[in-house]
């Protein structure tokens, strides 16, 4: 099995290693090539796909209000959600060509499904339904508590594709959010 760090002696693009698991339970590593920091890819996602991605980002990394804390830096850090930090735009650029992977089309397809009411109903089930008219909504229109339930259901699903979708969203969003540098 190869090392998880790219060779330092060669000046190549950095690599993002994501550990994936085959259906049989065998672990394998997938090497995903990322664009260098100086060459950021433009965000080619549609507005509706960006709304769905923003909803996923804010569900995974929401803003948290801390009671009775004196440290303003700590309060500011916890009050910043993923969308406030600009994470969806960077992740959108990665999905638009910043990462080259054979199954990237599947993630884009899932984002497109989440941007429509029928795709959200297909991927999320009855958790996406609302008691008021319109009864169906896209993922961005689903309330936050139900979105959390949906992502939790994906992470614990017996279907491999839902677990893979959740892990990919979680890894990409957390990677971008926690590696952003304030300039």
Q: Supply the pLDDT for residue 110.
A: 97
Residue 30 is assigned to a structural domain of this protein: no
Residue 143 is assigned to a structural domain of this protein: yes
User: DSSP per residue over 48-111, as a string?
Assistant: HHHHHHHHHHHHHS---PPSS---HHHHHHHH--TTTTTHHHHHHHIIIIIEE-TTHHHHHHHH
Residue 15 is assigned to a structural domain of this protein: no
Query: For residue 30, which phi and psi values (nearest 5 degrees)?
Result: -110, 130
Residue 93 is assigned to a structural domain of this protein: yes
Number of domains the chain contains = 1
Residue 2 is assigned to a structural domain of this protein: no
Tens of pLDDT along 86-140?
A: 999 999 999 998 888 888 999 999 999 999 999 999 999 999 999 888 899 999 9
Structure token digits, residue 27? 């672990």
Domain span including residue 87 = 40-179
Find the mean pLDDT for residues 52-81.
92
Where would I find the beta strands (DSSP E) of 93-176?
Answer: 99-100
Read off the DSSP letter of residue 156. T
Residue 28 is assigned to a structural domain of this protein: no
- The predicted model scores a pTM of 0.78
Residue 7 is assigned to a structural domain of this protein: no
Q: Taking Cα atoms as reference points, which of 54, 57, 74 lies closest to residue 65?
A: 74
Indicate whether 155 pLDDT > 60: yes
User: DSSP per residue over 5-46, as a string?
Assistant: S--TTS----EEEEEEE-TTS-EEEEEEEE--TTSPPP----
CA 183, distance to chain mean position in Å, is 23
Tens of pLDDT along 3-22?
A: 444 444 344 444 444 444 44
Residue 19 is assigned to a structural domain of this protein: no
């Amino acid at each position: 099995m190869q090392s998880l760090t790219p060779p330092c002696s060669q000046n190549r693009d950095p690599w993002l290693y994501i550990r994936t698991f085959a259906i049989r339970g065998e672990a394998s590593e997938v090497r995903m090539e990322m664009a260098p920091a100086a060459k950021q890819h433009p965000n080619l996602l549609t507005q509706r796909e960006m709304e769905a991605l923003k909803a996923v980002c804010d569900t995974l990394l929401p803003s948290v209000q801390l009671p009775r804390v004196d440290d303003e830096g700590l309060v500011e850090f916890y009050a910043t959600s993923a969308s406030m930090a600009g994470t969806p735009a960077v992740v959108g650029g990665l999905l638009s060509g910043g990462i080259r992977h054979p199954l990237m089309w599947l993630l884009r397809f899932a984002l497109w499904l989440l941007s429509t009411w029928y795709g959200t109903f297909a991927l999320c089930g009855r958790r996406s339904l609302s008691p008021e008219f319109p009864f169906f909504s896209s993922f961005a229109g689903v309330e936050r508590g139900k979105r959390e339930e949906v992502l939790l259901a994906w992470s614990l699903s017996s279907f491999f594709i839902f677990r893979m979708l959740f892990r990919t969203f979680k890894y990409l969003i957390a990677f971008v959010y926690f590696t952003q540098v304030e300039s």
